[in-house]
């Protein structure tokens, strides 16, 4: 496995995209810290980047990479190599390179300009979202052989989780506003990794937004030890489930 | 060495392999023939585990290959269209393959030299012509002294000189007791290389015998002609039955 | 300690010149305060030496001065009200009151003043008293330099720090109140002053203020109280230079204004409160030169408010600047600084050329459907707000600042 990971890694680095991505993150994070002295505000702006850009880049890059390594995968399949090894090597290499880009691009400035609970949470959710969307991209990639179709699916995933889902959530909350919805909404939020990450971040940033009885409920829930374990666990599920479903499909897939 | 037991494969509605039962024995060379889309490549890919049969079992050395991968150590495979990581250089590719097969056994680099690949080791894969690609594929297939050689259209796109080099190599290896499964359209090539013939049509095995028998049955000296005659006879029979 | 004693001493010097001084001391001739009071004539001064005095309820019905030397401790033994004063011209200075009784039916206090005038409560310490200083129907009095501290856990276990009912012309200055139900409680108190006090960590309100017209409070600190400060059912109240800070919780306000009219809120700081100012039924009130910083909602303006003016305030780093529950706008908002303002100033006069709409659509949605708070800072909400800024549909069209300033007002 390490040998295969090495070759995939080498292949990813060759495309230089990861390098540009790292630089982009580094430059924009640095610029934000330079422009604003208030660390809280910087973290807030960074949060917007993390919630929007990270999922998009992760999912699209992974899908393109997956299709670009189809030859490699085919080549490997004729060799005495386990399919699972190929699949997970692909995952580990892609996820690792994106995570390293994120750690250098966002983590380094954060460490330079001061570590705080909120910045550490930001780092954490960024990494988690990277892993989640790499997993989703793998799922989309094994579902279809057509590259364009797969990229379409991934964009749909992204669009769904960053916009459509929230719209539906708002609509549900609006339509059933006469009922006590707190518990239901907690469940609904868990169904969207971006929302979950955002709320974990909000709890560290401006809890002032979470007010009133409802706000207090959410704060008690997500702010408690169990709530945090719940959030972290659900995010982990979001990584593991698509990855494993993808693995099952990949193992049975005709190539 | 390789046993297929009632292997079926469906791609959607298309029946790519229909109840294929077949045995390939060591030391023999099988020509896999049939029109385009008759299931030759599917059969090969099934043996390699790249295509998973809908039903039926495949054994390599008496071992069911389902969910196994170690058995591929015994196989050298030359694909119909060699697809390789485009950014790699030939040398890197060969090194990587050695690295991944991971055995310290001496590799067989005869073809690498014979095809003059040593001179273009630093060429990237995307810069290669179709023929050079085929050479790389062939060289890689023979690299590990595999006892089972599966060659999918080995001579397609090769220049006559290289075809001869490859043919000689195959004949020599065959004499050493290796099993060859070769699919090709170019029947004249197969004539020299094969001892047995498997004729596939619409996923079914229509004919499986030694080439000598086929020639005797059809009274034809050349394999190409013999097959043509056989096909004609059979389709004639079909019409009669109807 | 010595200076305090001298201070109290000189304070009562005029009376000392024409009257007697009695000394109460655990080892002296007069050993109890009660005896001292019994023996004193109106106008006399009693000096209480350091020591602990457990005398139950002490009733003062003479105009006398009681001065503690080295903070003698008056222990209520968790049973008694300590001083009950029912006389004019009484001064209590330099005593330490601890552990009064508690009761739910009547209000037990360390010092209770009933129907009196010109009472001075100066530089005393109150520790774990139920009510600290309790004035009922009294006037022309001073409450100054006292420290009151309690550590109750629930509202019903504790009374108010400084409690005034039906008083007038009272000055409350430089007191520190901590851990009571309400720090300072005013009901039917008129023409009075609350200045330079610090009211902190009280369970309910830092200042609770009802039916108290023509009062002024100035330069006080209200920090980290359960529900902040409430000013209700009052007219002509002036609030200058106070700081409302860290009043944080699901039902917490920096300042709650309810049914207030003809009042002024000027030069105050509202920092890190869940709601900076909540206004309900407020009329003809001026909000000028205040700073709103890092509040959840800076101003929550209910539709029942009219004719109020917001001007020269700084709004920065608040989650929401203004929310309202109606569409009618009868208030004037003009010339404030908003950090969320993104307009331009072509003629460089320091005033933005396009109006600013401080009301945010998402805030209105949350106002109606609290569960929607979960979507805060999502992409969707950002889009909705952007769209709403361009074409206002749901937010009140007229609620806008026509001349927002480009730079914050400098208040340092």
Q: Can you give the pTM of this predicted structure?
A: 0.81
Domain that holds residue B71: 2-241
Burial degree of A2 (CB within 10 A; 0-12, 13-18, 19+) = exposed
Beta pairing partners, C292: C270, C315
The single residue listed with the structure tokens 């995952």 is A91
Residue among B190, B167, B156, B170 at smallest CA distance from B30: B190
ipTM: 0.84
Dihedral sign from CA coordinates of A208, A210, A214, A216: negative
CATH of the domain at B205: 3.40.50.300
pLDDT at position A184 is: 85
When pLDDT is cut at 50, 70 and 90, the band that residue A207 belongs to is: low
The per-residue pLDDT for B241 is: 47
Which chain A residues are Cβ-neighbours of B85 within 8 angstroms? 7, 11, 69, 71-72, 75
Q: Work out whether the CA dihedral A160, A165, A167, A172 comes out positive or negative.
A: positive
User: Do residue B50 and residue A254 have CB atoms under 8 angstroms apart?
Assistant: yes
Residue A101 has pLDDT above 50, yes or no: yes
The whole-angstrom distance between A152's CA and the closest CA on chain C is 20
Name residue, tokens 């994120």: A102
Q: How far apart are CA B134 and CA B130, in angstroms?
A: 6
Report CB contact under 8 Å: B83, A71. yes
Q: What is the pLDDT of residues C123-154, one digit of tens each?
A: 999 999 999 999 999 999 999 999 999 988 88
Average pLDDT, chain C: 90
Ordered DSSP codes for C93-161: ES-EEE-----SSS--EEEEEES-BS-EEES-EEES-SEEEEEES-EEEEEES-EEE---SSGGG---S
Q: Which residues pair with C45 in a beta bridge?
A: C21, C65
Number of H helices, E strands in chain A: 13, 0
Each domain of chain A, given as residue ranges in start order, spans 2-252
In this prediction, residue C256 carries a pLDDT of 94
pLDDT in tens, B127-177: 888 889 999 999 999 998 889 999 998 888 888 999 999 999 998 888 888
Mean pLDDT by 10 residues, chain B (242 residues): 89 88 89 85 90 91 88 89 84 87 76 90 89 91 90 88 90 89 81 85 85 82 78 63 45
pLDDT score of B242: 43
Of C275, C319, C372, the CB nearest to A170: C372
Residues in A touching B48 (Cβ below 8 Å): 77-78
Quick one: which of C178, C219, C173 has its CA closest to C193?
A: C173
A204: nearest Cα among A22, A57, A50: A50
So what's the pLDDT on residue A208?
A: 55
Q: Give the integer Cα–Cα distance in Å for A72 and A8.
A: 9
pLDDT at C14: 60
Question: For position B237, what pLDDT does the model report?
Answer: 56
Under a CB-based contact definition with an 8 Å cutoff, are residues A78 and B48 in contact?
yes
Task: Enumerate the residues of chain B whose CB falls inside 8 A of the CB of residue A11.
Answer: 85, 87-88
Count the domains in chain B: 1
3-state secondary structure of C348: coil
> With an 8 Å Cβ cutoff, is B174 touching chain A?
no
Give the closest residue to B83 by CA, choosing from B149, B16, B152.
Answer: B152
Q: Which residues are CB-contacts of C161 (< 8 A; sequence separation ≥ 6)?
A: C126, C131, C132, C133, C148, C150, C175, C177, C178, C180, C182, C183, C184, C185, C199, C202
Q: What are phi and psi of A105, to 5 degrees?
A: -70, -40
Helix (H) or strand (E) holding C290: none
Q: Are B32 and B200 in contact (CB under 8 A)?
A: yes
């Amino acid at each position: 496995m390490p040998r295969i990971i090495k070759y995939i890694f080498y292949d990813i680095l060759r495309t230089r995209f990861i390098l540009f991505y790292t630089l982009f993150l580094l430059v924009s994070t640095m610029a934000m810290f330079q422009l604003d002295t208030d660390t809280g505000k910087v973290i807030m702006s960074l949060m917007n980047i993390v919630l929007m850009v990270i999922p998009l880049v992760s999912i699209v890059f992974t899908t393109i990479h997956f299709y670009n390594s189809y030859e490699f995968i085919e080549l490997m399949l004729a060799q005495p190599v386990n399919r699972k090894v190929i699949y997970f090597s692909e995952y580990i290499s892609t996820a690792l390179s994106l995570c390293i880009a994120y750690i250098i691009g966002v983590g380094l400035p954060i460490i330079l300009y001061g570590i705080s609970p909120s910045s550490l949470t930001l780092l954490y959710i960024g990494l988690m979202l990277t892993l989640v969307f790499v997993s989703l991209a793998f799922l989309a990639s094994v579902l279809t052989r057509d590259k364009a179709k797969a990229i379409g699916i991934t964009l749909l995933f992204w669009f769904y989780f960053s916009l459509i889902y929230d719209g539906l959530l708002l609509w549900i909350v609006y339509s059933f506003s006469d009922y006590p919805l707190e518990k239901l909404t907690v469940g609904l939020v868990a169904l969207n990794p971006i929302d979950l990450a955002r709320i974990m971040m909000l709890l560290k940033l401006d809890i002032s937004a979470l007010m009133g009885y409802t706000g207090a409920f959410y704060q008690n829930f997500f702010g408690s030890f169990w709530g945090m374990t719940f959030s972290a666990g659900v995010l982990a599920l979001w990584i593991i489930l698509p990855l494993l479903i993808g693995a099952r499909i990949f193992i049975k897939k005709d190539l | 060495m390789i046993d297929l037991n009632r292997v079926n494969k469906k791609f959607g509605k298309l029946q790519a392999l229909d109840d294929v039962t077949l045995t390939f024995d060591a030391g023999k060379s099988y020509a896999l023939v049939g029109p385009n889309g008759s299931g030759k490549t599917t059969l090969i890919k099934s043996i390699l585990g790249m295509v998973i049969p809908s039903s039926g079992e495949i054994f390599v050395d008496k071992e069911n290959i389902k969910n196994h991968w170690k058995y591929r150590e015994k196989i050298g495979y030359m694909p119909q269209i060699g697809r390789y990581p485009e950014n790699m250089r030939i040398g890197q590719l060969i090194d990587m393959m050695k690295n991944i097969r991971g055995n310290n056994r001496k590799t067989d680099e005869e073809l690498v030299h014979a095809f003059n690949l040593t001179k273009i080791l630093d060429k990237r894969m995307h810069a290669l012509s179709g023929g050079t690609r085929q050479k790389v594929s062939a060289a890689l297939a023979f690299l590990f002294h595999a006892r089972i050689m599966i060659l999918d259209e080995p001579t397609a796109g090769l220049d006559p000189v290289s075809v001869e080099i490859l043919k000689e190599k195959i004949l020599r290896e065959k004499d050493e007791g290796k099993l060859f499964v070769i699919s090709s359209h170019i029947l004249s090539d197969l004539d020299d290389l094969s001892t047995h013939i498997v004729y596939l049509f619409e996923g079914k095995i229509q004919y499986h015998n030694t080439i000598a028998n086929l020639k005797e049955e059809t009274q034809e000296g050349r394999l190409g002609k013999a097959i043509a005659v056989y096909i004609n006879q059979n389709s004639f029979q079909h019409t009669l039955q109807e | 300690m010595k200076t305090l004693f001298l201070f109290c001493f000189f304070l009562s010097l005029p009376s000392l010149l024409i009257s007697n001084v009695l000394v109460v001391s655990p080892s002296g001739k007069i050993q109890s305060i009660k005896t001292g009071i019994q023996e004193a004539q109106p106008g006399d001064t009693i000096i209480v030496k350091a020591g602990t005095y457990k005398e139950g309820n002490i009733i003062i019905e003479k105009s006398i001065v009681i001065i503690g030397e080295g903070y003698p401790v008056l222990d209520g033994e968790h049973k008694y009200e300590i001083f009950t004063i029912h006389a004019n011209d009484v001064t209590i200075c330099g005593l330490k009151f601890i552990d009064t009784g508690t009761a739910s039916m009547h209000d037990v206090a360390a010092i209770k003043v009933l129907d009196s005038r010109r009472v001075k409560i100066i530089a005393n310490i109150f520790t774990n008293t139920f009510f600290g200083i309790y004035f009922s129907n009294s006037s022309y009095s001073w409450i100054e330099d006292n420290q009151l501290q309690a550590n109750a856990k629930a509202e019903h276990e504790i009374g108010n720090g400084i409690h005034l009912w039906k008083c007038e012309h009272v000055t409350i200055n430089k007191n520190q109140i901590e851990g009571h139900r309400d720090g300072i409680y005013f009901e039917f108190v008129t023409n009075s002053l609350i200045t330079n006090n610090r009211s902190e960590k009280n369970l309910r309100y830092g200042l609770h203020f009802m039916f108290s017209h023509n009062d002024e409070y100035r330069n006080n600190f209200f920090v980290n109280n359960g529900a902040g400060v409430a000013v209700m059912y009052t007219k002509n109240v002036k609030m200058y230079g106070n700081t409302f800070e860290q009043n944080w919780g699901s039902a917490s306000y920096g300042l709650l204004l309810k049914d207030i009219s003809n009042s002024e809120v000027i030069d105050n700081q509202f920092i890190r409160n869940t709601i900076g100012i909540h206004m309900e039924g407020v009329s003809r009130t001026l909000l000028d030169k205040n700073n709103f910083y890092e509040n959840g909602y800076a101003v929550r303006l209910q539709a029942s408010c009219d004719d109020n003016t917001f001007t020269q305030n700084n709004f920065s780093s608040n989650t929401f600047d203004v929310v309202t529950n109606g569409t009618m706008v009868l208030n004037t908002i003009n010339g404030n600084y908003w950090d969320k303002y993104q307009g331009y100033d072509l003629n460089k006069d320091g005033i933005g050329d396009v109006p600013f709409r401080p009301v945010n659509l998402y805030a209105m949605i949350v106002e109606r459907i609290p569960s929607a708070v979960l979507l805060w800072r999502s992409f969707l909400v950002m889009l909705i707000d952007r769209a709403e800024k361009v074409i206002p549909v749901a937010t009140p069209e007229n609620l806008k600042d026509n001349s927002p300033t480009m730079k914050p007002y400098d208040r340092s």
